[in-house]
A and B are shown apart, each in its own frame.
Chain A
Amino acid sequence: MATVVRRLQPRPLPPGPPRPTAGWRRAGGLKWTDHLASLGFLAPGAIWLLAIVVYPAIATVRYSFFNENATKAVGLANYKALFSTADTLIAFRNNVIWVLVFPFVVTVLGLVLAVMSERVRWATAFKTVIFLPVVFSVTASSLIFTQIFQLDPHVGVLNAIIRTVDEWVNPPGAYPLTSGQTPGSLATAGVRPGPGGTLVSTSAVKAGGTVRLGLTGISPQTLSVLGARPARLPAPKPGAVTGLVWRDFSPANPTDTKDVLPGEDGLPNLHLSLLRSDGRVVGSTATNAFGQFSFDNPGPGSFHVRVNASNFKTAFSGIFWLGPQSETPTANLSQTAQAMLSVPLIDISMVLAYLWIWAGFTMVVVAAGLAALNRETLEAAHVDGATEWQTLRRVTVPMLAPVLTVVLVTMVINVLKIFDIVINLGADSSQPGGQASTLASDVYYLGFGGGVHTGLASALAVILFILVVPAMLFNLKRIGGER
């Protein structure tokens, strides 16, 4: 607290620049030739602004009333077309999600990080690390996050974590089903689908009997990994239920099922249970490399052999973070309503990535605001026995309000025209015009994507501009007020 105390010492005001007085009053009496010089100095900047801001802005408004290659005026047709497609609605909805969620969350995150950075030991290092993503190009950051969010758990870290946990809790079987397969679709000979994703032998068997269970749709690679050997029916054994589970597919004779042909392999390491006629499990075993199994001494009565469901459990195949699907609890609504009300997963993924990028910036701005706070008030709060949380809520945040507002408004403008992360992060199937698209990315696709339509793109750019105006005016007014 020593530093704080020292800072609280009253300091003399530094001698400021002399206030302009007489010199300025003379300005009104200048001759126009004197203006000429200043105009000359202004000219380069003015011309630059006219050429790259004012002219393109006017041209954009003009183009928005023209057809796709700006050769024919079409009136308001472009605007009508935009407002009558679901694509624009989706883009608009995404912008709304961005504006509602992102600025608020990133400001709060910045505040939390800034307050934390005052408490940690290596504050500078901490701030540097958090700030680092701001320095990266958004494209580079997006590419990093496309890897993190990859569907394939072998590539995407996020899915890899989920997969690891999933496999630990609930390990996959030796014969995981591939897409489109059900345990029932694997059965060819001597088996039928049983309850709960199991397979059960069709015929009952008594001790001393033998059963054959044929399965199909098993990849040769799975077999070579498990070290499968050619299928051979075991000899009957007195007092035991024996049998064979084999891959009922022969390349030489792909249409023949039900027979054990040369070149067909047994299915090793398949977990089986023996069911009594009343459904009780009376034994369990696993097949050997030849696909053979044996339940010794099951006792009297007739039995069914069950292939356990655990054999077919598929490994977690990944969440499609960047995909076109949306978490829509609104399936019974109209398509337009669905488009407006759903929150696609991709938006959440993009917001997460964008938070990582911008949290450092808001943290630094808020930290600067914190450093400039009147410490006396904070001290007073402490002396009065306020807890940390109370201090933050009742003292720090209200005093920081101007800074937080600036951060919030800046971020609102930032995400209203959000573009780079959408283009770079979303899987292509979720854009253009898909679940990820925003107004700015649609402007780009309409104007420069597959079909060039300057009219539509310009019209959308004008709409986007109109949407940004309130936030802009608010910010301008604030800056004006501060002066």
Chain B
Amino acid sequence: MATATARPLRLEVKPKWRGGPTSRIGAALAVSALLASMASTASPAGAATLSTSARTAHIGGSVSVWAEWTSTEQQDFEAALKPFESLTGVKVNYSGKGSNMDTAIDTAVAGGSPPDVALVPDPGTVISLAKKGAIQPVGPVIGSEASNYGAAWKSLVTYNGKLYGVWFKGANKNTIWYNPAEFAAAGITAPPKTWEQLLKDAATLKAAGITPFSLCTDIGWPVADFWQNVYLKTAGAANYNKLAAHQISWESPTVTTAFNTLAQIVGNQGYLLGGTKGALSEKYPECVDKVFPKAGATPQAAMVFEGDFVVSEITGNSPNYTAGTKGKGGAACTTSVSATPCYDFFPFPAPAADQKNNSAIQGAGDVAMLLKPTPAAKALIKYLGSPQGAAIWAKAGGFTSPNKKVPLSAYPDPVTRADAQELQSATSFVFSLDDLQGSWEPSLWQDMLNFVKNPSPANIRSIQATMQKQATAALGH
């Protein structure tokens, strides 16, 4: 990782330019000025540093930015960019592409009209665009800000030894959300730390008459996410990445172990809300509502596995929900939504024998790429790598950043704080394996559903054989 350490910037010192936002030469001069001013004050990186340096550097012009965020997330992102706009005079033209971001950027690059900066939810896109030479290395642009990220994050967007992306938003899938009041009703005082404890707690919940899990598995990808977590925790990150690249056979014993482990939950009718039939009909986000209902309803299950994006669903169900294990005003958590309900998560537990895998995390994230090295775009990339913008969105909620310089105090509650801390301290970070499978991804999802329908050892064997065939056919090895 060449870019991991702060490298002195190579700068052409040119006179500062304070003209209007029109000429390209002027803008080019301006970025040099910005970089120069940044370098001159580039001691300990941080929000304060950036704002002082940026204050002196008016760039002007405009920068086009694409990302997947729309509606509320778009507003939050634009709010996070406000300081950048006012400090540099750069007008940000943001365009939210929704879930088609990867396709949109590929098409735009192929069509020769890409935006200046784009944030994509998939590091695979970054690498493939870097291979094509469609994006610029960001190491020289962000300089010391590169040290804001752990090695696990940077390695995902490094190609040929050069850093090509700046992580802005992270999403943690290493989370099992639980209703603390339900845990208390079953006498569970601390959330489980190992897979075995999780199973024991599930049995206790069932004995208390509480259904342990609400699964969001009417469709294949949540099962895949769940299974991938189990595989990561049982086989480790190295094997995970090998399986993602299909260097490990789908018939390997590690895969069997993961299926059998997950079958301990999925195969137990009593642990699933409505049994298998219920699990196969439960849509996201209704599956979350079964654990964290709206006012007037009672929780029907104690736990739901999903990424940290479920928080907005929970707090949207009722403003009464408090993050953590204490209700509003320090009262005990209640199952009644109109009183003092709470929500909390615990990290996805590895089996007792594989505790070393606990710091390997599955998740997702949005990474910024530099497509056109205009001064305004470079300044924006640097800004996105600094903690300043991220801290603003963090305060607004529903946001975690892998950026270590974003102070934990910026996050509004203990749950988000714990979530962000997990992201920042992850020793390995893996992306959804299914998204790396190309054309056979839908088949993989169907295989996963097939597993939920019948998690017997015989069916697991036949599913593994099918998956191996599909992977070989699709990936050619």
Contacts and interface: CB of A to CB of B under 8 A. Distances in A.
Given A180-B268, A427-B280, A453 B210 contact: no
Nearest to B184: A251
B187 A250 contact: yes
Contacts of A219: 208-210
Given A251-B184, A323-B281, A450 B206 contact: no
A178 interface: yes
Contacts of A124: none
B313 interface: no
Contacts of A81: 473
Chain A facing B: main interface SS: loop
Contacts of B186: 249, 251, 254
A220 interface: yes
B461 to A, nearest CB: 14
B269 A451 contact: no
A216 interface: yes
Nearest to B206: A217
A427 B218 CA distance: 7
B291 interface: no
A451 B442 contact: yes
Contact of B270 (A151, A179, A250, A323): A179
Contacts of B217: 429
Interface stretch (B27-35, B37-45, B433-441): B433-441
A120 to B, nearest CB: 40
Interface string A215-253: 011111110000000000000000000000001011111
Interface stretch (B113-121, B250-258, B271-279, B351-359): B271-279
A152 B437 CA distance: 34
Given A179-B272, A320-B281, A324-B453, A249 B219 contact: no
B142 to A, nearest CB: 32
Given A179-B274, A451-B437, A451-B438, A151 B209 contact: no
A221 B442 contact: no
B442 A180 contact: no
Contacts of B298: 221
Contacts of B207: 216-217, 249, 254
A151 B281 contact: yes
A347 interface: no
Interface in B417-444: 434-435, 437-443
B446 interface: yes
Given A249-B207, A428-B218, A320 B277 contact: yes
Nearest to B276: A179
Interface residues of A, number: 44
Contacts of B103: 452
B158 interface: no
B441 A324 contact: no
A203 interface: no
A433 interface: yes
B185 interface: yes
B175 interface: no
> Which of B217, B278, B439, B445 has the most chain A CB atoms inside 10 A of its CB?
B439
Given A251-B186, A451-B441, A180 B272 contact: yes
B3 interface: no
Nearest to B447: A433
Contact of B211 (A179, A250, A433): A179
> Which of B188, B221, B271, B275 has the most chain A CB atoms inside 10 A of its CB?
B275
A434 B449 contact: yes
Nearest to A146: B283
Nearest to A257: B207
Contact of B218 (A180, A429, A450): A429
Interface in A411-447: 427-429, 432-434, 445-446
Contacts of B206: 180, 217
Interface in B168-189: 184-188
A178 B185 contact: no
Interface in A61-113: 68, 81, 87
Nearest to B473: A81
Contacts of A220: 185, 208-210, 335
B80 to A, nearest CB: 30
Contacts of A453: 438-439
Interface in A319-367: 320, 322-325
A221 B335 contact: yes
Interface string B148-167: 00000000000000000000
Contacts of B208: 216-217, 219-220, 249, 251, 254
18 contacts: A151-B278, A151-B281, A152-B281, A179-B211, A179-B274, A185-B270, A219-B210, A220-B209, A220-B335, A254-B208, A320-B277, A323-B280, A324-B449, A429-B280, A445-B442, A450-B435, A451-B438, A452-B439
